[in-house]
Structure 1
Amino acid sequence: MLEEGFHKVPLGHVATVVTYLEMTSPAALRPAELPEGVTLRRVTDPDTVWYKDLFMRVGGQDWLWFSRLKMENSKLGAIIRDPDVHMFTLDLGGTAQAILELDFREKGKCEVAFFGVAPALTGSTAGRCLMNHAITYAFAQGIDMLHLHTCTMDHPRALAFYRRTGFTPVRQEIEVLEDPRLTGDLPREAAPHIPIFA
């Protein structure tokens, strides 16, 4: 446990506050319709190249998502093609523009492992529609808990969005990690709002 007070972050690293949230019964859905031309589909047998490209567009460029980008394709493929990991996306003009990754590998629970929309859908009703689908679909599988986490490097409205959706914050952690822009996992120009301390 960290003691109270300030703690220096090492050079070449970034720090973020991670908030864990849970939902133990289906929350009331917030009405929304998919934007015109957008369709929801389940992705079966996803390709790792396709996945990493989408992962980068949804979270890598703006929010420093990098964990899956540096993962070996064999390990990543084993996760995203696991029969208990269900993948959905939103298509616009024939291109995937969202990630909804539901992980049912822990009995009785479902983790929203990754959730987000690419810039082409940011600010529309797409995110709300995708989350409505996540809640309805996950609880239809007979789970007791739907959970996820977000951090202060995510979209600044992410935590408020999850709370409005019906998730309850249950704990927080501080994560310190090597800056992925300095390790080569992300371009140096990614997430310009987060300073680099080299």
Structure 2
Amino acid sequence: MIEAEGPALPRGFHNVAPGDLACVVTSLEMRQPPAGLRRLVPEGDVPVQLVRWKDCAPEKYRLLYRRVGEPWLWWSRLAMSDAELAAIIHDPQVQVHAVVDRARVEVGMLELDFRAAGTCEIAFFGLIPGATGKGLGKWLMRRALQMAWVPGVERVWVHTCTLDDPRALGFYMGQGFAPYARHVEIFPDPRVAGLLRESAGTEPIIG
């Protein structure tokens, strides 16, 4: 005998199974480059630089991905096999960059995806805890947009969700992105799956 599932949920509500998480994803886009985008910031004014990681080993990539994204439960790349991950990050239309400080320590990452014709997705963008709140995010976004707006690109887009830094949505909008879509995403909790530490996403963020 099949037991009743209980009363029907009101419109707009969704069941979330035990062990799953839910978030609201907002996608934002930019249809033309901001004014003055090509103006360079003097290198001495910024204590970091971008280093292109060409053909980096999947494990090296995951270490930085985890350092940047674990507080926000980034997990999708951790669930991939080496072959699946390499097929993306070694694609000539995908650019992976590390943000490196003056001590040559990686403190952030930027990934640009040009695989869709006429489009650049800012697939991953972030700084490690402790490197935020210092103006580096604006510098990194400026560099991201300078590299994204190449001839043939007509649209640059990015997404964020309610598990990300709560300042992220406002930051993207402040940089010239406009929201165009929202949806609810339900996925297995990466901590339950063993992809992230049990304490991930619960520790205070500094910066």
TM over 0.5: yes
1:147-180 superposed Cα distances (whole Å, 9 cap, x missing partner)? 1111000001000000000001001000111111
Map of 2:182 onto structure 1: 172
Map of 1:87 onto structure 2: 96
Are 2:157 and 1:147 aligned? yes
Q: CA deviation at 1:99?
A: 1.2
Map of 1:159 onto structure 2: 169
Map of 2:125 onto structure 1: 115
Q: CA RMSD in A?
A: 2.1
In 2, are the aligned partners of 1:103 and 1:112 still within 8 Å (CA)? Answer: yes
**CA distance in structure 1 between the partners assigned to 2:96 and 2:151 by the alignment:** 14
Map of 1:43 onto structure 2: 53
- Which of 5, 12, 33 pairs up with 2:19? 12
Comparing 175-184 with 120-129, greater Cα deviation is found at: 120-129
Q: CA deviation at 1:42?
A: 1.8
Comparing 34-43 with 105-114, greater Cα deviation is found at: 34-43
**CA distance in structure 2 between the partners assigned to 1:29 and 1:75 by the alignment:** 38
In 2, are the aligned partners of 1:111 and 1:147 still within 8 Å (CA)? Answer: yes
**CA distance in structure 2 between the partners assigned to 1:133 and 1:84 by the alignment:** 17
**CA distance in structure 1 between the partners assigned to 2:94 and 2:13 by the alignment:** 39
* Alignment length (residue pairs): 191
- What SS does the corresponding residue of 1:185 show, helix, strand or coil? coil
Whichever of the two has the greater Rg, that structure is 2
Q: CA deviation at 1:27?
A: 1.9
Map of 2:66 onto structure 1: 56
Q: CA deviation at 1:141?
A: 3.8
Q: What TM-score, normalized to structure 1?
A: 0.89
Specify the code of the residue in structure 2 equivalent to 1:6.
F
1:35-74 superposed Cα distances (whole Å, 9 cap, x missing partner)? 65322222222221111000000012x1000100111011
Q: CA deviation at 1:33?
A: 6.9
Q: CA deviation at 1:5?
A: 4.1
Are 2:139 and 1:129 aligned? yes
Q: CA deviation at 1:7?
A: 3.0
Map of 2:192 onto structure 1: 182
Gaps of 5+ in 2: 1-8
Specify the code of the residue in structure 2 equivalent to 1:78.
A
Change (3 A) 1:23 1:100: same
**CA distance in structure 2 between the partners assigned to 1:173 and 1:29 by the alignment:** 33
Change (3 A) 1:29 1:150: farther
**What is the percentage of aligned positions where both structures have the same residue?**
42
- Which of 66, 83, 92 pairs up with 1:74? 83
